[in-house]
Structure 1
Amino acid sequence: MKYVSWNVNGLRACIKKGFFDYFKEAGADAFCIQETKLQDGQVDIDKDLAGYHQYWNYAEKKGYSGTAVFTKKEPLKVTYGIGEPEGDSEGRVITCEFDDHYLVCCYTPNSKQGLLRLDYRMQWEDSMRKYLMELDKNKPVVYCGDLNVAHEEIDLKNPASNHKNAGFSDEERQKMTELLGSGFRDSFRMLYPDREGIYSWWSYRFHARENNAGWRIDYFIISDRFAPRVTDSTIETKVEGSDHCPITLEFN
């Protein structure tokens, strides 16, 4: 089985940059996207998604946020949001229940420049961790998406100059530590604990991608007991079309 997650930073723009070339090449069993920046009916891609079931969660605000999941196998159940009103209005979470696990696609709120939204972000993190732990009581969880945090210094090019910036504040990093201490694992670091220079997001400024001055902020987080099923977790750094690149999880 192969799952893919990609923050497309506007699906319409990403389609013009070759989204479906990668989508078809990947041949994923489930493909999760974040930051669709769409409203219902703004794209007509049913033919491109032939063979996949589609699930969309749109933000109330136009041109903002939004998530989608395309899956070959029809889920037993699909839910939208986590019961947290502000985040749910921004279309940030889709949960697909399958026979033996949950797939959760998430676009985590950004704390914004100057950490203006940090207090809300902390509330979100607590709500999300509680939500995932409740799911995990029933079945293992595969939690993926743009989680908007580089957990450790190894996860970004310039940790010293970014300390206390959004995505690398002590508070955000601690929330990831708490999640990973609650029965979950970072699948990439589980397999590649010391691998450096592998990132999933680069600013559009200062030739960041050209210089590989990036951040690893996209994840496949898995329940501890799901770990023996994982065969690989990759970051597709050569795939363009967004300021993020796709990430994958392969499992038995």
Structure 2
Amino acid sequence: MKFISWNVNGLRAVVKHDFAETFNQLDADFFCIQETKMQEGQLELELPGYHQYFSYAERKGYSGTAIFTKHEPLNVMYGIQSEEFDHEGRAITLEYPDFYLVTSYVPNSGAGLKRLDFRMGWDTAFQAYLSKLDADKPVILCGDLNVAHKEIDLKNPQSNHHNAGFTDEERQSFTKFLQAGFMDTFRHFYPDQTDIYSWWSYRFHSRDRNAGWRIDYFVTSERLADKITDSKILTDIFGSDHCPVELDTKAI
């Protein structure tokens, strides 16, 4: 099976360009989207053969997630079962007989780390939610997790230390998450690969210079390791300040 995850930085905007061509070319079983930046009724997508699920932020033009899948789920859950954190459309969970698929757009700590406390609260609630799912059946998590875990995961670690997405708190939180029985699938296959990223600032010609960050992930329960055949970062696909990431698996 093929899973795709992509922060499109505005679904209505990317649909005006090459989204349909990219979507059809990738031909994924599961296509997960973050940062849709839209409300219900603002866009109708013709995606024959796919079930469509959207989670919208209460704030207009902000955040939002979606999943398009060829496989109808047993159950669909929106949010992370937290009154504090379920107003921004940041997560969707699809339940299948043998696994859960979760897509998430994790909060950014923001300029000056003004939302770091909110972000750390999210991490605690989200990790508890994922662990609860994992106790029932294996989890496949994807999305813009808004953290570069190690220095290898961004171009300029020294100058970005203590910036949003590369604070000690966020990185340690992600380490704790992985230690709870989860696996960063890209690093599972490519533990030492450098200079490959999934997000580049629109400023300073960052993508041309490949001055990026790896903040988009597929993280799975460790017990799915023997089912996973590859984890990729599709740097040749444009249309957003992020590129898609891909997970390939045997039947689960």
Provide TM-score, normalisation by structure 1. Answer: 0.98
Q: 1:98-247 counterparts in 2 under 5 A?
A: 98-247=96-245
Alignment size in residue pairs: 250
Write the deviation string for residues 51-110 of structure 1: whole angstroms up to 9, x where unpaired: 000000010000000000001010000000012224311000000001110000000000
**Matched AA of 1:19:** F
Q: Percent identity?
A: 62
Contact (CA 8 Å) 1:87, 1:109: kept in 2 or not? Answer: no
User: Which structure 1 residue ranges, 5 or more long, are not aligned?
Assistant: none
Equivalent residue for 1:97, pick from 95, 98, 104: 95
Write the deviation string for residues 101-141 of structure 1: whole angstroms up to 9, x where unpaired: 00000000000011111111111001111111100011100
Greater than 4 Å deviation, 4+ residue runs: none
* Superposition RMSD in Å: 0.6
Secondary structure at the aligned position of 1:144 is classed as strand
Write the deviation string for residues 15-52 of structure 1: whole angstroms up to 9, x where unpaired: 1221111110010000000000011111121x2x1100
- Counterpart CA distance in 2 for 1:208 and 1:61 is 29
Q: Which residue of 2 aligns with 1:40?
A: 40
Secondary structure at the aligned position of 1:250 is classed as strand
Q: Which residue of 1 aligns with 2:6?
A: 6
Provide TM-score, normalisation by structure 2. Answer: 0.98
User: Which structure 2 residue ranges, 5 or more long, are not aligned?
Assistant: none
**Matched AA of 2:67:** V
**Matched AA of 1:75:** P
Q: Which residue of 2 aligns with 1:249?
A: 247
Contact (CA 8 Å) 1:53, 1:74: kept in 2 or not? Answer: yes
